[in-house]
Amino acid sequence: MLIYLRVLKESFNFALSALVNNKLRTFLSLLGVTIGIFSIIAVLAAVDSLKQEIEGSLSGIDNSTIIVMRFPFTSTDIPRWKWQQFPDVSYSEYEALKRSLPDAKAVCFVLNVPTETLKYEDNTVSSVNIAAVSYEYPEIETLKLEQGRFFTESESNGGAPVLILGDEIAKNLFGSPGASMGKKVRLYGRKFTVIGVLKKEGNALGGGSKDTAALVSVNVARRVYGDNSKAVFPQITIKPNKNIDDAGFMAMISQKLRNLRGLRAEETDNFFVNQFQGIADIIDNITGQMSIIGGVISGFSLLVGGFGIANIMFVSVKERTNLIGIQKSLGAKNKFILFQFLFEAVILAVIGGLIGLVLVYIVSLLASSMTGDFDFVLSASNMIFGTVISAIIGLTAGILPAISASKLDPVEAIRTGM
């Protein structure tokens, strides 16, 4: 064991000596490994960050949540032109499903509407995302209120002029969220009373944060747009009870909606029962493909880096041929010489990889500071992965030079080196 530690120490000293004495050659040789590790770890960090951001923006919704609408979440055998002609789900269907689904924890009606402008005295905020929902919505998606409350069942059913503001909207209208409670805000040509303010979420991917949203009763939006407007599209969101058969529950929803619509047995569904898990699977699939594509592209840089390490090791063997002959003549075994050069190649590659990791870390800090609330994640697993890949590149690139060095005849090596 001690002899291998000694070899490791000597190899590390040789590697440092090569770095110091042949700066330009070493720099060019390690550049490929540095760029390769930087590229592949940067891709993995970007993908992890993107996935974390998306999952964070969807974290308030359970994956078992079901959304019934005329659009599919995933690919379907039904042609696009056909499902685009499907009728929208209706408020009466929402009420019927709510009454007839015993395994549903909550059933909510959501109307996706255009952005609007909110006004309070001389302050105006435009392009506000309006979430028109029924009173069950907090049971579907976790909402954290900084102040106030959500609207009640009677306020929801009656379309009361009340609303809940996102943190950023409240600040822009009133200066601070705390000053908004009970104030009258103009929306849809009438005044709405602020009854709640949501906690700050931070910027979500694609602008989906509720900081820039306002929540109103769905019946308010129905009065404004009607039930047949093409400017909006509705959905029925259902959260099932725990520990039920998801497939059976979705089949039950489908059958009940078919009965409500009077579809015959030979007719296909003219709606889609989508489960939120489908979105999570799509996200995993997309990020997985991005990682693979990025990894393949980065692999070419690592390949170039491997050739660079192999080149410097062959040169190192040639320069130290005389020293190898002397070591062998003094009793050094072939495996001693082999491990000596292998360790050196690995150390050189790891140094290049660590430089790449440091660059990724610096870039991630700069990117996070420039993009505000979007955090780039450089996980410990990615750093370990980068270090291991560097060592593997060094091991692979150094094996042939190390074998050639270990097989040198001591007499010929001393004569050649003189």
Average pLDDT for 255-259: 92
Render 221-249 in DSSP notation, one character per residue.
HHHHH-SS-TT-EEEEEEEEPTTS-HHHH
Nearest to 171 by CA among 180, 184, 181: 180
pLDDT at residue 56 in the model: 58
With 0-12 CB in 10 A as exposed, 13-18 as middle and 19+ as buried, what is 216?
buried
CA 213 from chain centre, in angstroms, equals 23
pLDDT tens digit string along 356-411?
A: 888 888 887 787 777 655 567 677 777 888 888 888 888 888 888 888 877 777 76
Cα 108 from chain centroid (whole Å): 28
- Cα–Cα distances in Å, from 384 out to 25, 291, 397, 409? 27, 17, 20, 39
Q: Point out which residues pair with 107 in neighbouring strands.
A: 238
pLDDT digits (tens, 9 = 90+) for 312-362: 777 777 777 777 677 677 766 777 777 777 877 888 888 888 888 888 888
Domain boundaries, the chain: 2-57+286-417, 66-281
Between CA 26 and CA 305 the distance in angstroms is 11
Instruction: Give the DSSP letter of residue 135.
Output: T
Q: What is the pLDDT of residue 205?
A: 46
Q: Provide the pLDDT confidence category of residue 206 given band limits of 50, 70 and 90.
A: very low
pLDDT higher at 343 or 282: 343
Distance CA 370, CA 184 (A): 36
Note whether 215 and 185 are within 8 A (CB). Answer: no
pLDDT at 234 over 90: yes
pLDDT tens column, 48-78:
777 666 665 555 566 778 899 988 877 788 8
Q: Report the alpha-carbon angle 174-179-181, nearest 5.
A: 110
Looking at residue 236, its pLDDT comes to 94
Confidence of residue 218 (pLDDT cuts 50, 70, 90): very high
